[in-house]
Amino acid sequence: MSQVWYHGNILSDAEGQAFSRRSHLYGDGLFETIRVHRGRLCFWESHYFRLMSSMRILRMDIPASWSPDEMEAELRSYLPDTSGDYRLRMAVWREGGVGYAPSTAGVDFAVHVTPLEDVGYPHPLKTLQVDLFQEHKKAAGLLSTLKASQSTLYVLAAQFALDQGLDDAIILSHENRLLETSRGNLFVLKGAELTTAPLASGALRGVIREQVLRLAPGLGWTVKEEALSPFALLDADEVWMTNAVDGVSAITQYRKSVYGMAQAERMQNALRASSLF
């Protein structure tokens, strides 16, 4: 039987379990972050099907009890109340212990529930100052679209932003094209054309990305999924970051370029008014 030592002390089997999870040992897991508004899991159907799809891609066993209705009811049971807003993060990992090949089948999970100060998607809109993160690039491929436990690239990009006194950093592909930020998907608006990186280039399969693409034509915008050069930021009217907790955030400054946010407000209002919210 393997032993687990921590700070010079050997741990009991029960204590050592937390250090023996495959998500901790190998990053063998994924997570789903959901905004909860007054007891309702926002865009739950999209979150659920992304989770199921991601687990299949990672060849994880999906418990028979994880139906949409049963899982939603269980997650709601973890909320302290139904009057406020919360960030709910569900982490799922493969069981199986030490070794790349898991010794057993099955998955386990944990849920973090964190109160949010703002009610509904934030108003006024959150604004961000950003720059490019160029130390490491993101590879294309199906695995790059997942919310995987192994998130080193995002951690390094977020640390870069902190070191530079910025709010966020833009992650690039190996072809030096705009992909996303450390916190969510990236959209560039020029005139009536709204552009975001395609999933095939390695962009995250974001739930709010999906909603923005769905809502944009109704707001008068033409949608393009295209890999853009950083030079596109010099000519943009607006630049947005989207994620499940904040909805749309307006990037208002990139180096010497300053952007508006009126159209980001329109999209935020459309998300807020969506029947899925």
* Angle, helix 44-57 to helix 207-215, in steps of 10 degrees: 130
> In angstroms, rounded to a whole number, what is the distance separating the alpha carbons of residues 196 and 194?
7
Asked if residues 236 and 189 have their Cβ atoms less than 8 Å apart, the reply is yes
> In angstroms, rounded to a whole number, what is the distance separating the alpha carbons of residues 277 and 91?
22
Amino acid 275: pLDDT: 58
- Give how far the C-alpha of residue 73 lies from the chain's centroid of Cα atoms, to the nearest Å: 22
Both tokens assigned to 99:
């070794």
Amino acid 19: pLDDT: 85
Whether the link from the prior residue into 124 is cis, omega within 30° of 0, is yes
Amino acid 120: pLDDT: 73
Domains annotated for the chain, with CATH where assigned, are 5-116 (3.30.470.10), 127-273 (3.20.10.10)
Amino acid 121: pLDDT: 76
Mind listing the pLDDT tens digit of every residue in the chain (277 residues)? 578 999 999 999 888 888 888 999 999 999 999 999 999 999 999 999 999 999 999 999 999 999 999 999 999 999 999 988 999 999 999 998 889 998 888 999 999 999 998 877 777 899 999 999 999 999 999 999 999 999 999 999 999 999 999 999 999 999 999 999 999 999 999 999 999 999 999 999 999 999 999 999 999 999 999 999 999 999 999 999 999 999 999 999 999 999 999 999 999 999 999 856 6
Asked if residues 186 and 241 have their Cβ atoms less than 8 Å apart, the reply is yes
Both tokens assigned to 242:
């989207």
Pairing label, strands 257-258, 168-173:
unpaired
Interacting residues of 244 by C-beta distance below 8 A, sequence separation 6+: 33, 34, 35, 42, 43, 47, 206, 207, 208
267 by Cβ neighbours in 10 Å (0-12 / 13-18 / 19+) ranks as buried
What strand order describes the sheet that includes 107-116?
Answer: 40-41, 29-37, 85-94, 107-116
User: Is the four-CA dihedral 30, 185, 226, 231 of positive or negative sign?
Assistant: negative
Q: How many CB atoms lie within 10 A of CB 151?
A: 15
Beta-carbon-side half-sphere exposure of residue 85 (alpha carbons within 13 Å): 15
Amino acid 161: pLDDT: 98
> In angstroms, rounded to a whole number, what is the distance separating the alpha carbons of residues 59 and 214?
29
Residue 206 sits at φ, ψ, to 5 deg, of: -80, 140
Asked if residues 227 and 173 have their Cβ atoms less than 8 Å apart, the reply is yes
Closest CA to 181 of 229, 241, 232: 241
- Give how far the C-alpha of residue 247 lies from the chain's centroid of Cα atoms, to the nearest Å: 11
CA geometry: angle 117, 120, 126, nearest 5 deg: 70
Helix (H) or strand (E) holding 30: strand 29-37
Amino acid 64: pLDDT: 94
Closest CA to 191 of 263, 242, 256: 263
